[in-house]
């Protein structure tokens, strides 16, 4: 019977033991932490392979059950959220347009920001993940035709996020999101002096997060930063048609967004053009900062698994475990969760990226119980604590890797 190879935290491979590691040893190896006191009461498995296979089957059972239930209830839910968000848009734009003092203007900006956040997160992000594709009555939310509110090209985002990030989460060389611009999010990404100020760079990018994401996913960021094709996150093919397409994707979304927010609606206000443009600008910045504060919590932190280049899951169960351990959940009230687009349930979202958000919230306790049952790390904390851990990790990654850990010790066997 095969043994499971253990790794020390300096990156050196230890001599494989002559016996199969205990569940406690496996859990310590996976999480890098000592398991909880009650861990030994969990079932014991004959091998790591058996543990992961059973975990995968448990997750698949949940998947199959919920997929069979998705339908009219989910369409009704997203229509309700969409209608509320559009009501907020009307209220916001009317208040901004007719405001004559700061209180009414501020109320309008807040209402418009709520519209933009809901359309970006709970409605748009979910629709573009194909959650409503093929469902009767959800024609407006089909992923191939849905138009996102933030200035991020839908086609480019789908390629980078749905195909790249979700399939290869936190794997260096595969996941395009292990860095944004000059911000290093994974110890496997080569350090450079540009990373020294990455906390300041991150905070600046938050203010224009939609714009930054469009640069990232179209691949224009790769060109702007002078990356080689091999080192690029998105634009590895530098042929003229591909480069031209990248700029087309970038500009077509910017142009539509700018025309709506800074030309059309301000023009309707006549002499109050600049007041409306300012209100639209502030509401967009609120959307961007809120989205960034949500998204940065997803895969950064001391407890989150990072995977070195070449890591491959050996089976469906291991892939599920890798997805779960490379993500953070954070705990917020339901209204805040809706504004977050259920990205406070990042673990569930990565296990089931095509599930509607209401289903992710519904199954979260069950997923947590299954993870605990099979020794899979389930990271969850308050939103402030999760954000604090993310920035602590960002600060650590602004420096070169310590000499003893330049080779990253994989949390899963690399193949």
- 128 pLDDT exceeds 90? yes
If one compares 180 and 360, the residue with the highest pLDDT of the two is: 360
Residues in CB range of 392: below 8 A, 6 or more apart? 301, 302
Reference 4, options 12, 31, 14; nearest CA is 14
Residue 396 CA, distance from chain mean position: 21
pLDDT-derived band at 115 (thresholds 50, 70, 90) equals: very high
The proportion of the chain whose per-residue pLDDT surpasses 70, expressed as a percent, equals 86
Residues 143-155, mean pLDDT to the nearest whole number: 97
The pLDDT value recorded for residue 1 is 39
Distance CA 222, CA 231 (A): 8
Distance CA 55, CA 369 (A): 11
Distance CA 90, CA 108 (A): 9
Distance CA 401, CA 188 (A): 9
Residues 63-88, mean pLDDT to the nearest whole number: 98
Q: 15-24, 60-69, 162-171, 223-232: lowest mean pLDDT where?
A: 15-24
The pLDDT value recorded for residue 123 is 99
Kindly report the length of the chain.
Answer: 415
The pLDDT value recorded for residue 58 is 97
If one compares 385 and 2, the residue with the highest pLDDT of the two is: 385
Q: How far is CA 396 from CA 300, 317, 410, in A?
A: 11, 31, 18
Residues 10-30, mean pLDDT to the nearest whole number: 49
pLDDT-derived band at 164 (thresholds 50, 70, 90) equals: very high
Q: How far is CA 286 from CA 150, 164, 281, 350, in A?
A: 12, 28, 9, 26
Judge contact between 378 and 158, C-beta under 8 A: no
Distance CA 6, CA 22 (A): 12
- 238 pLDDT exceeds 90? yes
Say how many domains are in the chain.
1
The pLDDT value recorded for residue 45 is 78
Residues 223-231, mean pLDDT to the nearest whole number: 94
Domain residues for the domain of 295 are 1-415
Mean pLDDT of the chain: 90
Q: How far is CA 135 from CA 84, 131, 155, 225, 356, in A?
A: 21, 9, 21, 42, 12
Distance CA 92, CA 387 (A): 29
Residues 225-236, mean pLDDT to the nearest whole number: 93
pLDDT in tens, 249-301: 999 999 999 999 999 999 999 999 999 999 999 999 999 999 999 999 999 99
The pLDDT value recorded for residue 24 is 58
- 13 pLDDT exceeds 70? no
Distance CA 344, CA 381 (A): 10
Task: Identify the DSSP state of 20.
Answer: P
């Amino acid at each position: 019977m095969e043994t499971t190879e253990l790794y020390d935290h300096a990156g050196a491979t230890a001599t494989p033991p002559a016996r199969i590691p205990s569940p406690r040893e496996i859990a310590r190896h996976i999480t890098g932490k000592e398991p909880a006191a009650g861990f030994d009461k969990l079932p014991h498995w004959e091998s790591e392979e058996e543990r992961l296979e059973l975990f995968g089957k448990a997750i698949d059972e949940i998947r199959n059950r919920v997929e069979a239930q998705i339908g009219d209830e989910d369409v009704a839910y997203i229509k309700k959220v969409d209608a509320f968000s559009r009501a907020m848009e009307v209220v916001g734009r009317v208040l901004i347009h007719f405001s004559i003092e700061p209180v009414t203007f501020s109320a309008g900006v807040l209402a418009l920001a709520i519209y933009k956040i809901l359309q970006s997160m709970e409605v748009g992000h979910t629709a573009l993940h194909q959650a409503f594709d093929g469902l009767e009555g959800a024609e407006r939310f089909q992923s191939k035709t849905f138009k996102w509110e933030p200035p991020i090209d839908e086609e480019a985002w789908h390629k980078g996020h749905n195909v790249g990030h979700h399939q290869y989460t936190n794997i260096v060389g595969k996941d395009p999101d292990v860095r944004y611009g000059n911000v290093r999010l994974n110890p496997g990404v080569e350090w450079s002096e540009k990373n020294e100020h990455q906390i300041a760079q991150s905070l600046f990018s938050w203010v224009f997060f939609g714009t930054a994401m469009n640069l990232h996913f179209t691949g224009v960021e790769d060109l702007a930063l002078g990356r080689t094709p091999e080192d690029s996150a998105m634009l590895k093919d530098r042929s003229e048609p591909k480069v031209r397409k990248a700029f087309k994707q970038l500009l077509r979304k910017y142009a539509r967004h700018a025309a709506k927010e800074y030309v059309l609606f301000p023009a309707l206000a006549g002499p109050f053009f600049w007041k409306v443009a300012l209100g639209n600008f502030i509401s967009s910045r609120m959307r961007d900062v809120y989205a960034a504060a949500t998204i940065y919590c997803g895969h950064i932190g001391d407890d989150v698994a990072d995977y070195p280049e070449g890591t491959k899951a050996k089976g469906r169960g291991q892939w599920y475990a890798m997805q779960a351990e490379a993500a953070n959940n954070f705990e917020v009230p339901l209204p805040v969760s809706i504004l977050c687009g259920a990205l406070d349930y990042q673990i569930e979202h990565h296990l089931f990226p095509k599930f509607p958000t209401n289903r992710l919230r519904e199954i979260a306790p069950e997923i947590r119980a299954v993870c605990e049952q099979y020794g899979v790390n389930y990271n969850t904390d308050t939103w402030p604590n999760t954000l604090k851990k993310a920035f602590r990790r960002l600060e650590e990654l602004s420096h070169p890797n310590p000499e003893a850990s330049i080779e990253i010790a994989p949390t899963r066997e690399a193949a």
